[in-house]
């Protein structure tokens, strides 16, 4: 291994778990049945490639207990764990009929949402997953509660005041921490700033509160625009929990810079792992010339995603 890449392969202990390195597969919708044979094959391949943590793609919380159970998810957890990676599931609050915006939810609806997250997390816990990650990023519904533009509520869960906009995310995390095993890890995915909707400082205040509520890992997306992990750096400097940074981290120099300069504690590689799941093992072995590097053509990954077809890569599919 090239000594300059050694920082990528330092273990990281979190609660009772230890990640074998600082590399994460972020949650990416694959258009596969995640608990079916193709889903298991996909996630087993990613884990076998050498990442330290695999975050399974967004799974809708209202489907747990029916479509997704501990019995039919256990194989997925085992497929990832057997290959040496830490398995985590991203939990997604989806729009449903009549509930598409924050203002559509009654207080009873919000109580039900929190319980759906608890049910989903307990199913994941029983199935053998190490942790769960509420998806509060990218302008999706949970993130819209945080936005002063999208959240037009006038009660304690909304309005222009940051306290109200943080409330649902904080309640979900604190409730999960109270009602899950002490060993279960809590991640949270958040977009540091969202256009003109909210500034970075709002997110920093939110992150401090999430940490106080029991969060174990903050997953920021996007965590860098120009410089590697420059949007994650303020969070990494203020928080005592690990911060994940994503965006072009398959470029070795960006990943190394993010970690060595303390801008992040973990780096997530997305399309780079679609192009070559063995990016971690090849890097660790010093076989950089064998890596299939993503060309950002977006043809078989985002292109297939838009068509609702299983994602892949033109480099090998």
Q: Could you tell me if residue 234 is inside a domain?
A: yes
Which residue, chain included where needed, has tokens 């600082």?
A: 22
Give the confidence band of 246 by pLDDT, cuts at 50, 70, 90. Answer: very high
Q: Where are the alpha helices (DSSP H) in the chain?
A: 37-48, 70-82, 107-127, 141-146, 162-179, 200-212, 233-238, 252-260, 271-275, 279-284, 302-307
Q: Could you tell me if residue 92 is inside a domain?
A: yes
pLDDT digit string (tens) for 122-138? 999 999 999 999 999 99
Q: Could you tell me if residue 312 is inside a domain?
A: no
The CB-side HSE value for 195 (13 A sphere, CA atoms) comes to: 11
Return the closest-CA partner of residue 125 out of 91, 162, 84, 165.
91
**Is 2 within 8 Å of 286 (Cβ atoms)?**
yes
Q: Could you tell me if residue 313 is inside a domain?
A: no
The continuous run of DSSP H or E covering 82 comes out as: helix 70-82
Q: Could you tell me if residue 23 is inside a domain?
A: yes
Which of 85-89, 182-186, 225-229, 255-259 shows the lowest per-residue confidence on average (mean pLDDT)? Answer: 225-229
Q: Could you tell me if residue 138 is inside a domain?
A: yes
Q: CA 149 → CA 22, 79, 208, 221, 295, distances in Å?
A: 35, 41, 22, 19, 35
**Is 237 within 8 Å of 208 (Cβ atoms)?**
no
Assessment of whether the complete model's pTM goes beyond 0.95: yes
pLDDT, residue 2, reads: 81
pLDDT digit string (tens) for 248-291? 999 999 999 999 999 999 999 999 999 999 999 999 999 999 99
Q: Which domain holds residue 71?
A: 3-307
The angle, 0 to 180 degrees and rounded to 10, between the axes of the packed helices 107-127 and 70-82 is 50
Q: What angle do CA 220, 216, 173 make, to 5 degrees?
A: 85
- Residues with Cβ within 8 Å of 255's Cβ and at least 6 positions away in sequence, in order, are 8, 23, 228, 249, 267, 269
What percent of the chain is modeled with pLDDT above 90? Answer: 93
Return the closest-CA partner of residue 76 out of 112, 27, 33, 113.
33
pLDDT digit string (tens) for 203-223? 999 999 999 999 999 999 999
Q: Could you tell me if residue 280 is inside a domain?
A: yes
What CATH number corresponds to the domain at position 10? 3.20.20.70
Rounded CA separation 249/275 (Å): 13
Secondary structure of the chain: what % helix, strand, coil (to 5)?
40, 15, 40
For the chain, how many structural domains are there in total?
1
Which residue, chain included where needed, has tokens 């044979």?
A: 37
């Amino acid at each position: 291994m090239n000594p300059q890449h050694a920082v990528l392969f330092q273990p990281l202990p979190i609660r009772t778990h230890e990640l074998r390195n600082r590399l994460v597969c972020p949650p990416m919708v694959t258009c596969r049945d995640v608990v079916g044979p193709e889903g298991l094959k996909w996630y087993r391949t990613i884990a076998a490639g050498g990442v330290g943590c695999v975050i399974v793609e967004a799974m809708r919380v209202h489907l747990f207990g029916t479509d997704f159970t501990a019995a039919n998810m256990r194989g997925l957890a085992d497929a990832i764990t057997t290959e040496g990676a830490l398995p985590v599931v991203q939990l997604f609050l989806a729009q449903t009929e009549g509930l598409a915006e924050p203002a559509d939810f009654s207080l009873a609806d919000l109580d039900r949402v929190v319980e759906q997250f608890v049910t989903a997390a307990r199913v994941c816990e029983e199935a053998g997953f190490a942790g769960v990650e509420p998806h509060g990023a990218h302008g999706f519904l949970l993130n819209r509660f945080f936005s002063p533009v999208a959240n037009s509520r006038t009660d304690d869960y909304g309005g222009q005041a940051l306290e109200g906009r943080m409330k649902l995310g904080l309640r979900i995390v604190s409730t999960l921490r109270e009602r899950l095993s002490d060993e279960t890890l809590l991640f949270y995915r958040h977009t540091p700033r969202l256009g003109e909707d909210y500034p970075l400082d709002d997110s920093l205040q939110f992150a401090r509160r999430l940490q106080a509520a029991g969060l174990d890992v903050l997953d920021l997306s996007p965590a860098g625009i120009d410089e590697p992990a420059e949007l994650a750096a303020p969070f990494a400097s203020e928080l005592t929990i690990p911060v994940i940074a994503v965006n072009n981290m398959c470029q070795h120099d960006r990943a190394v810079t993010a970690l060595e300069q303390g801008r992040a504690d973990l780096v997530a590689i997305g399309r780079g792992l679609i192009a070559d799941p063995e990016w971690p093992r090849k890097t660790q072995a010093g076989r950089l010339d064998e890596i299939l590097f993503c060309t950002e053509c977006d043809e078989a990954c985002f292109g297939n995603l838009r068509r609702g077809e299983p994602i892949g890569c033109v480099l090998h599919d």
